[in-house]
Amino acid sequence: MAYTVKQLAKISNVSVRTLHWYDEIGLLKPAYQGANGYRYYEEKQCLKLQQILFFRELGFPLNDIQKLLMQNDFDHIKALRAHKQVLESDINRKNQLIVTIDKTIQHLKGKHKMSNEELYYGFDSLRQKQYEKELVKEGVVSQDWMNNYKKKTSQWTQADKDRFIREGKDINQALILAINNQLKPASPEVQAIIHRHHAWVGWNPNKEGYIGLSQRYLTPEFRKLYERQHPDLLEFIIEGMLFYANKNLD
C-alpha cells in the first residue's frame, strides 16, 4: 500500500512539515511522485521512517542518522535489537525512579524512613556531564568555553536566572505564534526571533557551533521540551537556526 504525505503523517504521528523536511535533506525520499504531484511512500519508506524515529528517540543527530542509514552494510534487524536493549535499560532506570517516588510519598507520610542517599536512587548523575562532554566532542563548544560558561553561570543571581528563563519562554512563544500564522522559518519575522535565540544562547556560537547546537536539540530531553509546547516547534526552530547560521554566521 502506498501512502501520501498526509496519510503517512497520520499513522506515524510525524508532522507533514517534518516529512517534507526529511525529503528536502535526502533523509527520507518518497517511493515515487504521482502524476498528481503527490509524494507516495511504500513499506520500504515506512520501515526507514521507523528507524529514523528510533534513532531520533535515542538522541542521534539527523546527520548521523543519515550516515548510518546510507551504509551499505546497515543491518535493520541488528539495529532494532540494539534499540530494544537501550530502551530496556531506560525502562529499568525509570522503574527505579517510580520506586523512589513511591518511597518518598511514604516517607513524607511518616510511614517509611528514607536515607538521604535513597532520595536520589534512579537519577542519572552522569547525564548532564555526558551532555557537556558531547558538546565539546562534537565541536559545538570548546572545553575552555565550557569551563568559563559553568563558572559564569555559577555566579548568576536569582534575578539573572529568572531573566534567562523568561527570555527563553518569550522566544518559544514568539515562534509558536509564527507557526500558527503560517510563517516560514526563513521569513524575516522568524529570523528576527532566531536572532534573539542566538543571543540568548549566551556563548555567541559561530556557524559550525550553531548548526551543532541545532542538532543537539534532537535529543529526547530537548524534543520533549519543545514538542510539549507545540508539535511543530522543534523542527521549526531547527530549520530557522540552520537558515540563520548559513546566512549570517561564519
Residue type, 170: D
In this predicted structure, what is the pLDDT of residue 116? 65
In this predicted structure, what is the pLDDT of residue 131? 58
In this predicted structure, what is the pLDDT of residue 176? 95
What's the grid cell of residue 212? 551543532
- Residue 32's φ and ψ, nearest 5 degrees, are -165, 170
Q: What is the 3-state secondary structure (H, E, C) of the chain?
A: CCEEHHHHHHHHCCCHHHHHHHHHCCCCCCCEECCCCCEEECHHHHHHHHHHHHHHHCCCCHHHHHHHHHCCCCCHHHHHHHHHHHHHHHHHHHHHHHHHHHHHHHHHCCCCCCCCCHHHCCCCCCHHHHHHHHHHHCCCCCHHHHHHHHHHHHCCCHHHHHHHHHHHHHHHHHHHHHHHCCCCCCCHHHHHHHHHHHHHHCCCCCHHHHHHHHHHCCCHHHHHHHHCCCCCHHHHHHHHHHHHHHHHCC
Distances in Å between the Cα of 65 and the Cα atoms of 50, 54, 145, 149, 232 are 12, 10, 28, 30, 20
The span from the CA of 41 to the CA of 87, in Å, is 27
Distances in Å between the Cα of 183 and the Cα atoms of 37, 116, 226 are 23, 50, 18
Fold of 3-70: Multidrug-efflux Transporter Regulator; Chain: A; Domain 2 (1.10.1660)
Nearest Cα to Cα of residue 236 among 192, 172, 168: 172
pLDDT tens across the length of the chain (250 residues): 899 999 999 999 888 888 998 998 899 999 999 999 999 999 999 999 999 998 887 777 777 788 888 888 788 888 888 778 777 877 877 787 788 888 888 878 888 777 766 766 766 544 556 656 666 665 555 676 567 666 777 777 878 777 888 898 899 999 999 999 999 999 999 999 999 999 988 778 888 888 888 888 887 778 888 888 898 999 999 999 999 999 999 8
User: Which residues are 33's β-sheet partners?
Assistant: 39
